[in-house]
Structure 1
Amino acid sequence: MELGSLGLNLPPSICFTSQIQAILRRGRKEDIASTTFTVTIIKSAVSASEKLRVDTTDKIDSVLKLLRTHGLTRSQINNFVTKRPSGDLGDTLEPNLKLFKSLGITGANLAEMLNKEHRVLESDAYATVEFFRTNGFSDSQIKSITVKRPKFYVYNLKKCMKPKLEFFKSLGFAELQMAKFLSSQPYILERSLENHIIPCIEILRRVLDTDENVLKAIRAGCLVLEYDIEKVLEPNIAILVNHGVPKSLVVKLMLIQPRTLLQSTARLNKIIDEVKKLGFDPTNLLFVLAIRSMAVMSKALWEKKLEAYMNFGLTKDEVYSAFRRQPMFMIVSEQKISKLMDCYVNKLSMEPLIISKHPYLLLFSLEKRILPRVAVHQGAIALSTNSAADELPSYLGHRLFSCCSWNHHPGAPNLLCNFFFL
């Protein structure tokens, strides 16, 4: 059998072993079938040699081994070799892989990056990393940017990125602040400075009045810079104003959670209707907080949290009563709801109705606030001081309880230890 009949166009530098050549020459079907896997590997090697422009088996082996040592699977390597354009990787492949490994990008992260932009291994990766480091980005932030947007490595950063970073600095962002929000949402850096970013800032200035408020809003939710806020933000603000919400409360909502005002107008109108049905006053801060709480979760998640509270003895009416008192009551995670309600209802034997009347109790940290205060409170009761068991909710929320009272209470460590094992 001729080698050409198998569809193999082998370069002279790639040779079969004498045993494989003998099997192929005999031409027996069963023998050929037994060597299918070997032939497949050789085909892959030939394909790799053509795409990677390496002309010896030693070089093929070294390239494939290098990719494997950085955590890529066979299918991921094949995907990379298939996608990448022709070119000589000799000067960039190994140095770039080492650089990405130093950033913690290997295995699945490396494969994800290469699937998005295979040219990244041919780029001057060191120059890109150094550019971000010079502008205040930490290595962990650079890793985040690299995995999310590897295409930045094939950009002319001085032309495309530098003017945008300088603009954000001119707004008053410190390098650390800028690096934090841009690494979390690097997509902002893909938007045009003149046609998108600057117009967004001008609209925010018009809505929020001061540059200081603009910075606060971006820090609270930098996604605002990704939207066409002229088409989304301004119509939603008009809706709130038409419902009687003062501009001062609109500004507060923007500073707390700007994403609330980036909903579709239809969804925002629906949320406002629900909030009004619950009796909230549009001129009160609780009105916009209620809108915020409903806007950040789906109806299904809302129902799950409602059920979580009801599992600990609260009725549906009591949950909504608590929500009217403190709308942030419903943005607590399901896990935290379970932990705190278990503590209050099961460990402290607190009536569920008390939770409904004091919903702020669900906003505290169990480890940092609740457990230390409960321990000291119970110790005070045991020592017959003026504290009483029914004063616990207000005691937990009292702002004057300081680390001093905790640190200087003689039995505090033992009391806390005992409480953990109630």
Structure 2
Amino acid sequence: MAAAPLRSVLQRRNGLLPLFETCRLRDLLFFSSSVDPAAAVGGTISPDPHFMVEYLVNSCGFSPSEAAKFSKPLAHLRSTEKPDAVLNFMRSQGLGGAAIRKVISSEPNYLCYNVETNIAPKFQFLRDLGLSESDIVDVILKNDVILRLDVHRSLVPKLEMWESLLGSRELVLKHLKKTRWFFFSSVKKKLHPNLKFLRDECGIPEERLSLVLRSHPQLISLKPESLRALVARADELGMPRQSRMFMWILDALLMVSKERFEAKVELMRSFGWSESEFSSAVRKNPTFLSISLDMLRRKVDFFINVVGYTTSFIASHPNLLLLSLQKRVIPRFRVWEMLNTKGLWTRRGKFSYFVKLSNTKFQEKIVLPYKEKVPELLDILRAGAEQ
């Protein structure tokens, strides 16, 4: 059953569940009308403007130097009432000492927040999305900015926009738990303008956008001018914007700075590639751009100087560059050489057939038929697997 829209979930709860009852803030704050609030929470009132240094050391476990640094935004505090309430609430929600230190070091002013109005609603919002306590802790650690945003004015619109882009709430929650910048993206300033640009000016259908964004949603979160610059780089490679590969080229270029891209162009030029061959290889499979410069050099060197491929052949088959050199290419080349030396492999002479076979097919077509005649095959492959 599809998850209910975010707004309807919140509306059924009249905005949110009663937060005092849900989060048991009365219990957490030990509030009583007959007791002074600061005393009730164990708060202290101090004339010393630097008392928060000692507080951060004793209550949060910061080192003295860390506490001195993080206490600066808290110099206006004269009581530990609010910090006590915030720490008590966070502990009640499953955040341990290290997690609390990470959140507070990101934004010390969280210790000045009102638990009832500023913090508890955000935890309830995440619970309404179906997240467990441990999931919520993970989300807060990755996206503590959630604590600074208003639920209805900011969090709900962002979640609905991402759900529309990615196609499912499950994917939204997956990225929310592992991606730190997820909630920094402004719907008005980034998401909407970028979506309009890619769809209307570049002619990319939303379903194709969604396919790429599911794996790398940060593409749509760029500053609009940065996205336009990225599209201009893709245009220089000669790929039509309407092509199915265009979004994947954008995705690959996003992961490679202009400097690293140029370094790879120079590397391939040193092996004899022309600029047109490099562009052609990128258009066929832009993923090879993610390979480190050193590994790319080692792979191309092996294919040219050991296997005997021409630079043009590699440019026409860039998928070869994505294969593991130590675990696949070298072991299979040794097997291919051995079978050819013994005259056992005469049906197909091309190594590309060997190297492109899936592991299952390689076992079925190469290893099993020849393992008795050439028992060394297993040793070669085993050594490669251990690399």
- Name the TM-score, length of structure 2 as normaliser: 0.65
Write the deviation string for residues 314-371 of structure 1: whole angstroms up to 9, x where unpaired: 3322211110101222233334323433443445444333321221233344455445
The code of the aligned residue for 2:351 comes to E
Task: Choose the corresponding residue for 2:239, options 256, 260, 280.
Answer: 280
The code of the aligned residue for 1:311 comes to S
The residue aligned with 2:33 is: none
Distance 1:198 1:292 in 2: 27
Task: Choose the corresponding residue for 1:240, options 188, 194, 198.
Answer: 198
| Structure 1 position 302, deviation (Å) | 1.9
Would the alpha carbon gap of residues 217 and 183 (structure 1) be closer, same or farther in structure 2, given more than 3 Å must change? Answer: closer
Task: Verify the 8 A CA contact 1:135 1:175 in the aligned structure 2.
Answer: yes
Does residue 73 of structure 2 align to residue 115 of structure 1? no
Partner secondary structure for residue 204 of structure 2: coil
After superposition, residues 286-305 of structure 1 pair within 5 angstroms as 286-305=245-264
Rg: which structure is higher? 1
List gaps (5 residues or longer) in structure 1: 1-83, 101-105
Aligned length: 325
Would the alpha carbon gap of residues 264 and 154 (structure 1) be closer, same or farther in structure 2, given more than 3 Å must change? Answer: closer
The code of the aligned residue for 1:85 comes to P
Distance 1:278 1:286 in 2: 12
The residue aligned with 2:51 is: 87
Task: Choose the corresponding residue for 1:307, options 261, 266, 270.
Answer: 266
Write the deviation string for residues 74-97 of structure 1: whole angstroms up to 9, x where unpaired: xxxxxxxxxx9333877x566457
Would the alpha carbon gap of residues 365 and 184 (structure 1) be closer, same or farther in structure 2, given more than 3 Å must change? Answer: farther
Would the alpha carbon gap of residues 86 and 130 (structure 1) be closer, same or farther in structure 2, given more than 3 Å must change? Answer: closer
| Structure 1 position 158, deviation (Å) | 6.6
Partner secondary structure for residue 219 of structure 2: helix
After superposition, residues 20-419 of structure 1 pair within 5 angstroms as 85-87=49-51, 92=55, 95-96=58-59, 99-100=61-62, 111=65, 114-118=68-72, 144-145=102-103, 147-152=105-110, 155=113, 160-173=118-131, 178-180=136-138, 182-215=140-173, 218=176, 221=179, 223-242=181-200, 243-382=202-341, 384-385=344-345, 390-392=350-352, 394-401=353-360, 410-412=375-377, 414-415=379-380
Two-structure CA RMSD over aligned residues (Å)? 4.3
| Structure 1 position 200, deviation (Å) | 0.8
Task: Verify the 8 A CA contact 1:169 1:178 in the aligned structure 2.
Answer: yes
The residue aligned with 2:12 is: none
Would the alpha carbon gap of residues 197 and 313 (structure 1) be closer, same or farther in structure 2, given more than 3 Å must change? Answer: same
Task: Verify the 8 A CA contact 2:142 2:179 in the aligned structure 1.
Answer: no
Partner secondary structure for residue 226 of structure 1: coil
Distance 1:285 1:160 in 2: 45
Distance 1:138 1:323 in 2: 47
| Structure 1 position 217, deviation (Å) | 5.4
Would the alpha carbon gap of residues 418 and 315 (structure 1) be closer, same or farther in structure 2, given more than 3 Å must change? Answer: farther
Distance 1:144 1:374 in 2: 49
| Structure 1 position 245, deviation (Å) | 1.0
Distance 2:169 2:137 in 1: 19
Task: Verify the 8 A CA contact 1:309 1:319 in the aligned structure 2.
Answer: yes
Write the deviation string for residues 5-35 of structure 1: whole angstroms up to 9, x where unpaired: xxxxxxxxxxxxxxxxxxxxxxxxxxxxxxx
Task: Verify the 8 A CA contact 2:203 2:241 in the aligned structure 1.
Answer: yes
Distance 2:189 2:211 in 1: 21
Partner secondary structure for residue 350 of structure 2: helix
Write the deviation string for residues 206-257 of structure 1: whole angstroms up to 9, x where unpaired: 4445424533554675523212122211121111222221111121132122
Task: Verify the 8 A CA contact 1:216 1:255 in the aligned structure 2.
Answer: no
Would the alpha carbon gap of residues 114 and 188 (structure 1) be closer, same or farther in structure 2, given more than 3 Å must change? Answer: farther
Would the alpha carbon gap of residues 85 and 354 (structure 1) be closer, same or farther in structure 2, given more than 3 Å must change? Answer: farther
List gaps (5 residues or longer) in structure 2: 1-47
The code of the aligned residue for 1:303 comes to E
Partner secondary structure for residue 262 of structure 2: helix
Would the alpha carbon gap of residues 152 and 414 (structure 1) be closer, same or farther in structure 2, given more than 3 Å must change? Answer: farther
Task: Verify the 8 A CA contact 2:256 2:289 in the aligned structure 1.
Answer: no
Task: Verify the 8 A CA contact 1:245 1:283 in the aligned structure 2.
Answer: yes
| Structure 1 position 169, deviation (Å) | 3.9
The code of the aligned residue for 2:350 comes to D
Write the deviation string for residues 152-207 of structure 1: whole angstroms up to 9, x where unpaired: 45545675444323323433445555544543443343333232211211222344
Would the alpha carbon gap of residues 309 and 143 (structure 1) be closer, same or farther in structure 2, given more than 3 Å must change? Answer: farther
- Name the TM-score, length of structure 1 as normaliser: 0.61
Write the deviation string for residues 261-287 of structure 1: whole angstroms up to 9, x where unpaired: 222333333433443453424443311
The residue aligned with 2:24 is: none
Distance 2:232 2:316 in 1: 24
Tell me the percent identity: 22
